[in-house]
Amino acid sequence: MKQLVLLRLDENKLSGDIPLELGECSGLQQLLMGGNFFQGSIPSSFGSLKSLEFFDLSRNNLSGPIPGELRKLSIFKSLNLSFNHLHGEVPIGGVFNNITGLSLYGNDYLCGGIPELKLPACPVIHLKKPKKPLHLKVILIIVVTGAFLCSLVLIIILHMIKKPKRLSSANSFEDRLLMVSYGELYEATSGFSSTNLIGTGSFGTVHKGTLRCFNKPIAVKVLNLQTHGASKSFVAECRALATVRHRNLVKSLLVAPVLTTRVQISKHWLDVAIDIAQALDYLHNDSEEVIVHCDIKASNIFLDDDMVAHLGDFGLATLIDEAKGNANREKVTSSTVKVDCKRNHWI
């Protein structure tokens, strides 16, 4: 029906979308479709109807914007789109500039158009400006800073992972003594055999060994109570080790009337001399009472698997009672240690 001049379908009960093919009826001069139940949007193909003079789509259920293509129809005499659900901006130009031939009543959500229509202004939509590309220097700074932070975090993580390994075994026993039987110590040192002997002192021997409940090597000191002064040496050593704590001093895991065990702590071989110096500095300057070891020798220095040096054997230690002034000091050797029960302190 491309040669059709008049199509009148008004005042019926037609429904559905308006066929797009109507835009191919190039000979149409009048298209009257008002008073129906058409829905959907107005086809933009109607902009091709160059001969169209009268167009009526009023009193339907049409929605959406008014196609801007309709302003191209220069010979339009009447356009009636009233009483629908159209919304958006009204085009400017062509029939939309002819206030007498245009009817838009009953569309509450239209805006804009020529001032004579007295429609509300359309809201201004602010388009986001495209972001400027980052300058090369900024990108370089970000990359370098990110790499530095990642490296710093990696170093901290590696340090945190490595550090606990040095004291993992010792820390689990730092604040408590082990409950170890004589039989377990006997087994740990292969019966206190000479092959496990690592030192001989004035009051006994020291044997190396390994406990099942403790992964690190231990040193077991066996006191000969028949030796004069052994008991007092034992008491003095217990007192000395009970009040001190340092990374380069051996720690007591078990104290019994006959023997005492110590565990080594980690460090590196090249720092052996520094380890012992730090231990002595602590005993002389940082402990609650000044303690002089008095028996520094190779057999009293213990090395663990990581070649860390630990000072042990406090049997001959000298305790110095500091007066108010540093110049006045009274020496009390382990051979003369006794307890003043009335005062409830060691003298």
Residues noted as catalytic: 295
* Backbone dihedral region for residue 106 (phi beyond 0: left; psi -120 to 50: alpha; all else: beta): left
Q: How far is CA 177 from CA 27, 182, 208, 246, in A?
A: 108, 15, 19, 17
Other C-beta atoms closer than 10 Å to the C-beta of 245 total 11
Q: Are 203 and 233 in contact (CB under 8 A)?
A: yes
Return the closest-CA partner of residue 93 out of 126, 55, 121, 66.
66
Residue 84's identity, in one-letter code, is: N
Determine contact, residues 235/243, Cβ cutoff 8 Å.
Answer: no
Helix (H) or strand (E) holding 138: helix 136-171
For residue 241, count other CB atoms closer than 10 A to its CB: 20
Q: By C-alpha distance, which of 122, 78, 118 is closest to 98?
A: 78
Q: What is the C-alpha separation between 27 and 51, in angstroms, rounded? A: 6
Quote the CA–CA distance of 87 and 12 in Å, as a whole number. 25
Q: What's the chain's length in residues? A: 347
Give the pair of three-digit tokens for residue 339: 């307890």
How far separated are the first and last CA of the chain, in Å rounded? 127
Half-sphere exposure for 36 (CA within 13 Å, toward CB): 20
Which amino acid appears at position 150 of this protein? C
Query: Which amino acid is residue 138, in one-letter code?
Result: V
